[in-house]
Every structure is written in C-alpha cells, then in structure tokens.
Chain A
Amino acid sequence: MEAFTTHTGVGVPLRRSNVDTDQIIPAVYLKRVTRSGFEDGLFAAWRSDEHFILNQEPFKTGSVLVAGPDFGTGSSREHAVWALKDYGFRVVVSSRFADIFRGNSAKQGLVAAQCSQSDVELLWKLLESEPGTPVTVDLTDKTVRAKDLVAPFEIDDYTRWRLLEGLDDIALTLRHEAEISGFEGNRQTWLPTTDPLQAV
C-alpha cells in the first residue's frame, strides 16, 4: 500500500447526508472481477445530472471529498472505496462514517477523516464561495487545512500508523503465525467444518 503523509488537492463539497454505498457505486458496476477501472461507476446516477457537483469545474478534478454525516452506509462493497480512489479521491471528510466503509478505506489507503459537523459546514461554505480552494489533509498532525481554516480530524492511531507507513495488513498478521496455530490447536472439537474439495 502507498504511504500517506499529506495531500493537497481540490476540495469537493457534497451537501448530502446518508451517502450510501449504492449511491457511491451502483450494483451494476460490481460485476467486474478486476480491481481497477471503477471510476466510471462513481456516483453514476448522480453524475448523469449535469448539475451534479462533480460535473462542475473545478470540482471535476477534486481529490478531497467533503460530505455530510453517515457517509458510506449500507452495502459492504469495497468497490465504493475503489471507485473513489480510481476517480482520484485521496480523502473523504465527514462527521460520521459507516463502520465497514471506514475499515475498507483504511485497507486501501483512502483517508476517512472524521471532522466535527460544524467544521464540515465551514468547509462547505468556503469551497462553495471560493471553488477550487486547495485543501490540505495532513495525517501527521491530523488536520484539514483550507485558507485560514484549520479543522482537526479524528482517525484511530493504528490506522494512522499503518497509513503513514504504507503497511499491508496481511503481512502484519502473518507475523503472528505461531499464535494463530496455537489458537487453532485449542478450538472446540464440535465446531462445524464445511466439506472442502481437493484443491487443484
């Protein structure tokens, strides 16, 4: 995973709450078996409306999305994170994220920066009155900065460390192989097993 320390880009004000993952990427785009190229599905229904924010200059090239509360609710589809990243977003700012979306973001190096709703409102006003204002998201001091505005954000320390270091979760877990095997040796015998096949 690519490490993240700081990022500066065009902020996009998305004045919507409850942006569920079906809106971020509709199910019809989930049929692919590859891991890239999901940018065409991002907000597909909303983007068909020419007035949608991502169809406006200079927001088209945005990389910091500033959204309402309860961002990423609903389906667990990691495709929502892939679509945001493939489009060019590096950060989503919201006052509340759905748990699964937050976890998926952390795995993919998309920063889910949790700000207060009042700071989100200030960012919205600034980005709407001065479109194209660059927004800097600094993971080292956990702040979102735009012009004079400095908004602290929350992200858990472990995720922050992993993002700063660009570390892969699976490799980290496999360092504990002995403990996993030890745990497996003590599992109850009645626990169910499936009927696996012979792997080819």
Chain B
Amino acid sequence: MSRTLAEKVWEAHVVRHGSGAEPDLLYIDLHLLHEVTSPQAFDGLRLANRKLRRPDLTIATEDHNVPTVDIDKPIADPVSRLQVETLRRNCAEFGVRLHPMGDLEQGIVHVVGPQLGLTQPGMTVVCGDSHTSTHGAFGALAFGIGTSEVEHVMATQTLPLRPFKTMAINVDGALRPGVTAKDIILAVIAKIGTGGGQGYVLEYRGAAIENLSMEARMTVCNMSIEAGARAGMIAPDDTTFDYIKGRPHAPSGADWDAAVAYWRTLKTDDDAKFDAEVHIDADTLTPFVTWGTNPGQGLPLGANIPDPEQIADENERVAAEKALAYMGLEPGTPLRDIHVDTVFLGSCTNGRIEDLRAAADVIKGKHVASGVRMLVVPGSMRVRKQAEEEGLDKVFLDAGAEWRQAGCSMCLGMNPDQLAPGERSASTSNRNFEGRQGKGGRTHLVSPLVAAATAVRGTLSAPADLEN
C-alpha cells in the first residue's frame, strides 16, 4: 500500500498496535533532555522506584535558564541555578550524558542533536520541548512532549500514541533573493493559522523545499508547532546525507552504506494520499514579519497593520484588537515604520551558523542604529566557535552588536536576557506571544536577514532597504 513519509516512519516504530480505542505503542530512538521539563519526570522515576530504561538513547544539555554572559560564574538567579544543578544531579544519578555550560557541545537542545549527528532520517525523536519538530528536517518523526510523557519515555522508551493525520505543504517555485526559510514558514502559518496543523504531521515538499540547505530546513520544521502541528518532516536526500556524514554519531563504513540505502526509501510514495494539502508559491513570497501576538498574525514587510474592523470572523477580530492594544500599534501603520529597541538573532529557529553568516553579510561594514541594542546568541558553543573561526564575531562586534554565549536567551523569559515592559524587538525566534520575551515585551518575528537590516535602520527593514 502506498504510504507517506510520516506513515513509513510511524509503522517502523510500532511496538504493538492498539486494539479498538487503544493507541499504538511507539518506540522512541532518541530522547533529548533539558533542565526545565525533566526534574519532575526524574522525581517520578525515583518515587516509583523505576530505572531509566535506555540512558544510551538519552542525552541532556542546559539551555533555557543559562545566562549568555559570565558563564564561568555561578548562575545568579538561585531558582535557575537550582534547576540546572538538579539536572546535573539527575544525569549523574541515572547515567545520562550531559553537556553542561562551558562544554563545547552545550547549546540549545535542537541545535545540539543534529550537530552531533544524533538526529538521523527515519528516527523517532522526542523532547520535553515543542520545538522538537526541528529534527523533522532530517526525515525523522520528531515532536514535543509534556513532562508526564518525558517520564513515560524514561521508564519505557516508548509512548502510547494515536496515528496523526498527514498534511502536505507544497512549496513550489524558487525563492527570490532576500527571502528565506523563515519567510516560508511564517507565510505557511499565516495561511493555515495557528490551529491549522492540529492533529497533523506536516510534510514540506516541492522544489523550494528541496533547494533549501539542511539548516534552512530545520528553520522550517522548527515552527511546525506554531501552525499547531506537533511534527513537520522533509524527505531526506543527498543534502541530508552530506550534512550527517562524518558527524560524531553518524554511522560509518558498511553501516553508513546500509543506513543510506534505508534512508533513500524514506519518501512519500508517488500515489500516496495526504489527508490535506496546501500550496504555496515560493516565487510570490517576500520577507515576512509578524505584527500581533500569535505567529499566525504575520504579513509581508511591505504591508500595513491590518484594521480589526475589516476582519469578518469575530474571534479573529477580537484577537486582532487585543493584539494591537498589547503591541501598541495603530491600524494602517506601514510595518516598515515600526521602530524597535532590540534585535535578537538566535534561538533554535535561527541560531545556526548559516543564520549568523547571513546576518553578518548584511551588517558587515555598517552599524547598529543608535538607541538599538542587538544581541547575537549562537545556538551552541560549537556554532559560536565556528563563527569565531570565520571572523563573524568581529563583524557583529564592529557593528556594535553584543556577541554572547550559547543558550535559548531572549527567545523566552527564563534567563537574564529579557525585554523590559513596553520594549519592542525584532526577533529571529519563534513566538510573539504576550510576555514571551519578558513581561510587557513586544515581539516581531523576523528572518535573520530582516533582523540585521532592522538593526541597521532601527525600523523593520529588509536588506534591500539598505541599498536605497
């Protein structure tokens, strides 16, 4: 029978099929841990006197709470420090490899897995973090789970799950210069809405997706959750295999050949049917930014703030009114006229080496606008090292930006990098929710290229605006 990519990976991991209403039991190939969603799960194991079943399929890093300056000193916030120390104690007790602050492999969990070669096609990957969808870029079935499920995977290396529906996101054509993977995914979310993907695994397909680099594919899959989908996938191809080859945990020798032979079977059969299909024409896309307080409230940079009174659906109209009040914006204002106080370049969405290179390329020889602060936060210490070897740190520092250590940083208000109340950011992260970057903070989601151009002009801008 013809199957989609998601169905193939699912079927390959069914430990037992549920009967009737009972879900299937799925085997989990890789479990990623961080300090925020794991302590109560470790506690649960201890209370029930259970073992961690497969420490060899489990890996941990510190990311959400970590400061991005002075990392050689103890974490100042005692509550954050306790959470990080608890992770260290738990990993030591249960035998989990941990990459702590200061380690070259420390960083955002979704940057670390792929960079170590632990994320491979056809695997099931879970983490107590909704942006686990990132790993779907490799043709893995990867999704975020809650803490009870973290404990369940720790104890059994499986999860009871009901099959997902499948949705094809066809992105045909070619991206124009200055338009990136981030613009694709923001346009997808604006099109299908923050709930459009609920119950589905998304499969991104089409020429524009095939032509993306591995890192750009991760940006796309990362924000599947912002469209309501737990997972997003891209069929693996030579781009994928080239990226994995030679990484620390990649197969080698005869194993490599066997793995690639299997990986090549991981694509949707020609006559397989998706439960839903969406089409996006890449040729028509332009840089995209959000204006509201959910990631579906986005528009091309050339547009104006929408007028809620023109929105027919009552729920959406109320949501837009509340969003504009929170964001301090007036209907009809051109997005390009919006001034920002802070530019954040980083996160599991856009904190990889290509993102830093792209932004550096825009900002090189220019300067961050007066009154604007720009934070550049590599997704991992290895990305940071590579960037420094390429001289990118100098480019950012010369432009007046801050060059930080690795972590989740300003993507969420759990560490010292936060917006002040009323402060406005252009951010390469993934969520513009109220208070996400700090209480009262206002977030516009953008690509690394738009972030860099915005830093230079001080208003939401694309690189092309710098040429005028």
Listed in ascending order, the chain A residues whose CB lies under 8 Å from chain B are: 15-18, 20, 22-23, 26-28, 30-35, 45, 68-70, 73-79, 81, 96-100, 103-104, 107-108, 156-158, 161, 169-170, 172-174, 176, 179-180, 183-184, 187-200
Query: CB of B192 within 8 A of chain A?
Result: no
C-alpha spacing A18/B80, complex, angstroms: 29
Across the interface, A35 reaches (CB within 8 A) one of B15, B29, B43, B95, namely B43
What bracket does the count of chain B residues touching chain A fall in? Answer: 35 or more
Q: Does B436 contact A (CB under 8 A)?
A: yes
Residues on A with C-beta less than 8 A from B18 are: 158
- Alpha-carbon separation in the docked complex, A70 to B56 (Å): 37
Contact residues in B for A193 (Cβ distance below 8 Å): 56-57, 249
Q: What B residues does A104 contact at CB under 8 A?
A: 146-149
B69 close to A (CB within 8 Å)? no
By beta carbon, the residue of chain A nearest B258 is A190
- Within B412-457, the residues touching A (CB, 8 Å) are 412-414, 431, 433-436, 439
For B435, list chain A residues within 8 Å (CB).
Answer: 22-23, 26, 45
Query: A residues within 8 A CB of B300?
Result: none
Query: Contacts of B96 on A, CB cut-off 8 Å?
Result: 194, 196-197
Q: A33-B83, A170-B151 are in contact. Are A96 and B30 (CB under 8 A)?
A: no
B146 lies within 8 A of A176 (CB)? no
Q: Is the CB of B228 within 8 A of A73?
A: yes
- Taking a contact as CB atoms under 8 Å apart, the answer to whether B94 and A199 are in contact is yes
Beyond A31-B80, A194-B249, A196-B97, 10 additional pairs, beta carbon < 8 A: A17-B316, A27-B414, A73-B195, A74-B226, A100-B146, A100-B230, A156-B21, A187-B29, A196-B96, A199-B55
Task: Establish whether residues A70 and B195, one from each chain, have CB atoms under 8 Å apart when the complex forms.
Answer: yes
**Contact residues in A for B56 (Cβ distance below 8 Å):** 193-194, 196
Pick from B91, B123, B199: contact of A99, CB under 8 Å: B199
Please tell me if the beta carbons of A17 and B318 are within 8 angstroms of each other in the complex: yes
Is B130 a contact partner of A76 (Cβ separation < 8 A)?
yes
From A99, A107, A169, contact of B228 by CB (8 A): A99
Answer yes or no: B145 CB below 8 A from chain A CBs: yes
Given A32-B79, A197-B96, A192:B160 Cβ within 8 A: no
Q: Considering residues A16, A68, A158, which has the most beta carbons from chain B within 10 angstroms of its beta carbon?
A: A158
B15 CB contacts on chain A under 8 angstroms:
176, 179-180, 183
Nearest chain B residue, comparing its CB with the CB of A78: B146
Least Cβ distance of B162 to chain A in Å? 7
User: Which of A23, A76, A180 is within 8 Å of B145, CB to CB?
Assistant: A76
Given contacts A26-B439, A78-B147, contact A194 B118 (CB under 8 A): yes
Assuming the contacts A190-B255, A198-B95, asked whether A169 and B27 have C-beta atoms less than 8 A apart, the reply is no
Contacts of B256 in A (CB 8 A): 190
Given A17-B315, A200-B92, are A76 and B158 neighbors across the interface (CB < 8 Å)?
no
Q: Using Cβ atoms and an 8 Å threshold, which residues of chain A touch B250? A: 192
Given A22-B431, A98-B228, A196-B96, CB of A174 within 8 Å of CB of B412? no
| A-B residue pairs in contact (CB < 8 Å), sample of 12 | A26-B439, A27-B436, A31-B82, A45-B439, A70-B228, A73-B294, A99-B198, A108-B148, A169-B160, A170-B48, A191-B123, A196-B55
> With a CB–CB cut-off of 8 A, which chain A residues contact B94?
199
* CA gap between A78 and B145 in the complex, in Å: 9
- Please tell me if the beta carbons of B80 and A199 are within 8 angstroms of each other in the complex: no
Q: Quick one: which of A107, A158, A173 contacts B21, CB cutoff 8 A?
A: A158
Q: In the bound complex, how far is the Cα of B145 from the Cα of A70, in angstroms?
A: 18
Q: When each residue 35-47 of chain B gets 1 if its CB lies under 8 Å from chain A and 0 otherwise, what string results?
A: 0110110010000
Interchain CA distance A43-B21 in the complex, whole Å: 34
Choice from B152, B258, B322, B414 contacting A169 with Cβ under 8 Å: B152
Considering the chains assembled together, what is the distance between the CA atoms of A23 and B436 in angstroms? 9
**Contact status B148-A15, CB under 8 Å:** no
- Contact status of A170 and B123, CB under 8 A, knowing A31-B79, A73-B294, A158-B21: no
Closest to B87 in A: A33
Taking CB atoms, residues of chain B closer than 8 Å to A26 are 413, 435, 439
- Closest chain-A Cβ to B425's Cβ sits at a distance in Å of 15
Interface-centre pick from B27, B117, B123 (highest chain A CB count, 10 A): B27
Contact among A35, A45, A158, A180 for B23, CB-based, below 8 A: A158
Residue of B nearest to A105 (CB): B146
Bitwise interface map of B from 150 to 165 toward A, beta carbon under 8 Å scored 1, else 0? 0110011110101000
Given contacts A35-B40, A170-B151, contact A196 B58 (CB under 8 A): yes
B319, A170: Cβ atoms closer than 8 Å: no
How far does the alpha carbon of A100 sit from the alpha carbon of B145 in the complex, in Å? 7
Assembly CA distance A77 to B225 (angstroms): 13
Write the chain A residue with the least CB distance to B43. A35
CB distance from A111 to the nearest CB of B (A): 15
B407: CB under 8 A from chain A?
no
- Give the 8 A-B residue pairs with the shortest CB-CB distance, closest first: A199-B95, A157-B21, A107-B148, A78-B146, A104-B146, A196-B55, A33-B39, A76-B144
Give chain A residues whose Cβ lies under 8 Å from the Cβ of B319: 16-18
A170 to B37, CA, bound (A): 18
The answer on a CB contact under 8 Å between A179 and B25 is yes
Is there an interface contact between B130 and A75, defined as CB atoms closer than 8 Å? yes
Contact assessment for A180 and B147 in the assembled complex, using a CB-CB cutoff below 8 Å: no
Listed residue (A27, A35, A158) with the most chain B CB atoms within 10 angstroms of its CB: A27
A31-B83, A196-B56 known; A77 vs B37 contact (CB < 8 Å): yes
Give chain B residues whose Cβ lies under 8 Å from the Cβ of A158.
18, 21-23, 162
User: Of A32, A74, A170, A190, which one neighbours B152 at CB under 8 angstroms?
Assistant: A170
Q: Which of A69, A103, A190 contacts B195 (CB 8 A)?
A: A69
A136, B361: Cα distance in complex, Å:
60
CB neighbours (8 Å) of B148 from chain A are 78, 104, 107-108, 169
Q: Quick one: which of B27, B36, B262, B434 contacts A183, CB cutoff 8 A?
A: B27
| B286 is an interface residue with CB less than 8 A from chain A | no
Q: Which residue of B149, B156, B258, B436 is within 8 Å of A180 (Cβ)?
A: B156
Tell me if A191 and B95 are in contact (CB < 8 A).
no
Tell me, rounded to whole Å, the shortest Cβ–Cβ distance linking A196 to chain B: 4
Given A173-B152, A195-B97, A20–B433 Cβ distance below 8 Å?
yes
